[in-house]
Structure 1
Amino acid sequence: MTGMGLKLKTVLAAGALVALTACTTQYRNHGYVPLEEDLSNIVVGVDTRDSVAETIGTPSTGGVLNDSGYYYVHSKVKHYAYRQPQVVEREVLAVTFDKRGVVRNIERFGLSDGNVVPLSRRVTESSVVDKSFLRQLLGNLGRFTAGDFIE
């Protein structure tokens, strides 16, 4: 019986170990955003699409409207046991270009309580007159109410 009791204890210990590791929080990183040191090599009003790609790498995605810019996206996702994965951190770097393909603007965005938060901005103009595509897209998150869909 001691051989059977030892096997039972081993199986129970292995089951407890599996149960404990299943409840461990895991974080996964997705995407790429260049470091600030690398961005310091890009000069607004001077660098072009090609020089940006050479300096900081190819973007995660490009501008949807008129190929307006490069967008680098990084997300940190928390996975815990059986729960739905949760995005705990997201950062978007937007490099926009003028019609000649020269860097017009470099902006870094983060998410804070579901709102878009500009983390840094380098612009050739003294102020931003029009909103970028990304800002328009992310700016509408959380602005919907049930009354908007009911007539």
Structure 2
Amino acid sequence: MMTTAVRPPLSAPTREEDSMSTCFAIARRKDSEGLPPEDASRVGAMRRLVRARLKYCGLQRMSDDVAVIVSELLTNAILHSGGEQITFVMTVRDSSLHISVHDGMPGNLKIRPVNSDAETGRGLFLVASLVDAHHGTWGVSDAGATTWCSLPC
């Protein structure tokens, strides 16, 4: 079940705070399993919600890159956390877009080298590259249970 709390738009979202948050359960899976279909569907729904929210805030020019970042952070949390729930928060505050994905499971998150033939494993590299292209920052907090990024609007 997915619940979403969205504050009404502000006339100047870069000067005030505008926030969207949602929390949803994720399917139990074994380490060898890929992304369960119901979780893949949730990731797709979050991409659409993020795009709509950015358009609503007048930030649609960022929507392609932010949709990729959100997709990668959520997929990474689902596949690697071992948790049962994901909390996603996106806030526009102080002329910056802040995104956080909390999976509740501490861990050692890092970009790892990937063989050129590998079909997976590039998500965090992609996130880091997109954040860097926007002159933003990203990292982890809560002992690795939360991955976040901040992009200037």
TM-score (norm 1): 0.35
Structure 1 or 2: larger strand share?
1
Query: Structure 2-normalised TM-score?
Result: 0.35
Higher share of residues assigned helix = 2
- Of structures 1 and 2, the larger Rg is shown by 1
Comparing both chains, which one has the higher relative contact order based on Cα–Cα distances under 8 Å and sequence gaps of 6 or more? 2
